[in-house]
Structure 1
Amino acid sequence: FFFILLSFSITSSAFRWRCHQDDAENIREIFSELNLTLTQDCCRIHDAFQCDPNTSRVYSVRLAYFDHAEKIPDAIGKMTNIQYLDIHKMPNLRTEIPSFIANLVNLKMFSITWTNVSGTIPDWLHKLTNLESITFSFNNLSGSIPAFLAEVPRMTSIALDRNRFTGSIPESFGRFRNSLPTIKLGYNMLSGAIPRSLGAVDFNEIDLQHNDLTGDPSHLFNNRSKSTWFLDLSRNLFEFDMSNVVFPTRNLERIDLSHNMIWGSIPDQILEDTKLNFLNVSYNRLCGKIPQGGRLQEFGASSYMHNRCLCGQPVSA
């Protein structure tokens, strides 16, 4: 229906184009680069553009499902008023992140997902000081994760999952300037220990699954008062004693520690987490009796299987 919308012709001679003239011209260029023709007011193409109701300036651009596109249209670099840029499901994009994005000084949210964009995260990204969120998931980006990302003044969310990043998590990720940041770095090739500095941050979400991370990560969450609701450290090489870990109990809903080398026992304190709706500690080296109560028995035996000597329901009667 998106392409039907783009090709819809305006037949009324009384129709007044609302889109700001400068934006309209830039969007015509974008459409031309995508081998399309702009046939209606860009402010009415709600799937792709959002306009300020007072100024009619375009503040949000979303280009999605253009399977034939081989690059991000250059004309986007002229739209310096936009605050949100979302490039999604364009599988033939194989270029690096284009440098003209550096012109978009008002950008708050920058997302490129499900493409084949490659190369490294560009250094000029730190110049976009209004950025609050970057999402570069499901691409072919590589290299190391730049230390400057967490130091962008307003940054609260960094999602780089499902790429080919290598190296370690930057120590600077312990210096977010805003509260409750989110980091999603899963499905990469990251290695090394998690810097101690990250233990000082009250993260909203932590997703580090499917990497080659090592050491003891418990400083990330070993604090009853933290606000973390999502914690996924599965399929790494983590080693620590779980027995004396104190889990956050205010908001934690999901814990996945499976496929590591964690030993000790599951602490009774986890029963205090009344919001917990997912737990998986399978494929570790845990022993002892599974705490009885709360929802721990509802998660099923598969959440506890392939440990050294866990016992009690739901593993055994």
Structure 2
Amino acid sequence: MIDARELDLSSSKRFGEIPSEFSRLINLEDLRLQNNFLTGRLPDGLWELKKLRSINVSNNELSGKIPKEIYRASSSLEELWLSNNKFTGELPYQLFMLENLTHLNISDNEIEGYLSESVSDLVSLEYLNLWNNNISGFIPRELGELKNLEFLSLSGNQLKGPIPKELGNASSLISIGLFENELTGSIPKEITTLSNLKYLGLFDNKLEGMCQNLS
């Protein structure tokens, strides 16, 4: 088993913590543990796996903070799926050191604090979902530097202030969800004229103007 490249234990009614022994699977590229009843924290040893490309632990009962040690997987990790758990605390700056990351989903957790301007360091990012957390502060204009970003959801948080016009520089965007926040000001024309945009969800904010949704 030590030579396994893929381990799929999804939807297998598993309880307890993620075994620390997984860190011995030195050739592991894809770890799927979603749709179980796993508890506890993410083991630090996971980030020592130099070939780990994708990890999915969505739809469990995992808790604690997202570990700072995550940066150790920066050379290989492309997909990180942590949605629908009980993760708390702020997004560690080490998370933004994952320069090869294409998919990041931490939706439906209890994350708080700000979304750092360092998000622009995730230069390969195509999918960013932080829906339904407790993230506050402003939407960083640096999101506009993510030229590969297609899907963005920051809905269901406590974000305030204006929608940055620089978001219109993310020319690959297909879907933008910013609804159920505390955003104010007008809707930048730079966003509504994005050529690839299919969905724009802005309802339940304090925005001015008529364009609340585009779909």
Same fold by TM-score, threshold 0.5 exceeded? Answer: yes
AA at the equivalent of 1:240: G
Task: State the match for 2:136 in structure 1.
Answer: 214
Deviations 1:23-69 (CA, angstroms, capped at 9, x unpaired): xxxxxxxxxxxxxxxxxxxxxxxxxxxxxxxxxxxxxxxxxxxxxxx
SS in 2 for 1:140: coil
Task: State the match for 2:8 in structure 1.
Answer: 86
Task: State the match for 1:253 in structure 2.
Answer: 174
Structure 1 residue runs of 4+, over 3 Å off? 243-246
CA pair 220-164 structure 1, distance change in 2 beyond 3 A: farther
Judge conservation of contact 1:164–1:188 (CA < 8 Å) in 2: yes
1: CA distance, partners of 2:45 / 2:158: 33
Q: How does 1:148-163 map to 2 (within 5 A)?
A: 148-152=69-73, 153-163=75-85
- Of 186, 207, 214, which aligns to 1:286? 207
Structure 1 position 117 matched with structure 2 position 41:
no
SS in 2 for 1:89: coil
AA at the equivalent of 1:286: L
Deviations 1:64-96 (CA, angstroms, capped at 9, x unpaired): xxxxxxxxxxxxxxx0111111111122x2110
2: CA distance, partners of 1:245 / 1:235: 21
Q: Which has the higher strand share?
A: 2
SS in 2 for 1:117: strand
Task: State the match for 2:96 in structure 1.
Answer: 174
2: CA distance, partners of 1:243 / 1:142: 32
SS in 2 for 1:275: coil
AA at the equivalent of 2:87: F
1: CA distance, partners of 2:46 / 2:141: 29
CA pair 260-271 structure 1, distance change in 2 beyond 3 A: closer
Q: Which has the higher contact order (CA 8 A, sep 6+)?
A: 2
- Cα deviation for residue 101 of structure 1 reads 1.1
2: CA distance, partners of 1:198 / 1:85: 29
Task: State the match for 1:190 in structure 2.
Answer: 111
Gaps of 5+ in 1: 1-78, 300-317
Judge conservation of contact 2:89–2:110 (CA < 8 Å) in 1: yes
SS in 1 for 2:8: strand
Judge conservation of contact 1:265–1:289 (CA < 8 Å) in 2: no
Structure 1 position 105 matched with structure 2 position 21:
no
Judge conservation of contact 2:47–2:71 (CA < 8 Å) in 1: no
- Cα deviation for residue 251 of structure 1 reads 1.7
AA at the equivalent of 1:90: S
What's the TM-score, normalizing by structure 2? 0.91
CA pair 103-249 structure 1, distance change in 2 beyond 3 A: closer
Instruction: Give identity over the alignment, percent.
Output: 28
- Cα deviation for residue 107 of structure 1 reads 0.3
Task: State the match for 1:201 in structure 2.
Answer: 122
CA pair 200-126 structure 1, distance change in 2 beyond 3 A: closer
2: CA distance, partners of 1:175 / 1:161: 20
SS in 1 for 2:190: helix
Judge conservation of contact 2:140–2:164 (CA < 8 Å) in 1: no
Judge conservation of contact 1:170–1:195 (CA < 8 Å) in 2: no
- Cα deviation for residue 218 of structure 1 reads 2.6
- Cα deviation for residue 185 of structure 1 reads 0.3
Number of positions where the alignment pairs a residue of Structure 1 with one of Structure 2: 213
Structure 1 position 230 matched with structure 2 position 186:
no
Structure number with greater Rg is 1
- Of 254, 262, 276, which aligns to 2:183? 262
Judge conservation of contact 2:88–2:112 (CA < 8 Å) in 1: yes
Task: State the match for 1:32 in structure 2.
Answer: none
Judge conservation of contact 2:16–2:39 (CA < 8 Å) in 1: yes
2: CA distance, partners of 1:151 / 1:220: 24
What's the TM-score, normalizing by structure 1? 0.63
Deviations 1:227-281 (CA, angstroms, capped at 9, x unpaired): 1000000000011212634324532111100000111111111243222111110
Gaps of 5+ in 2: none
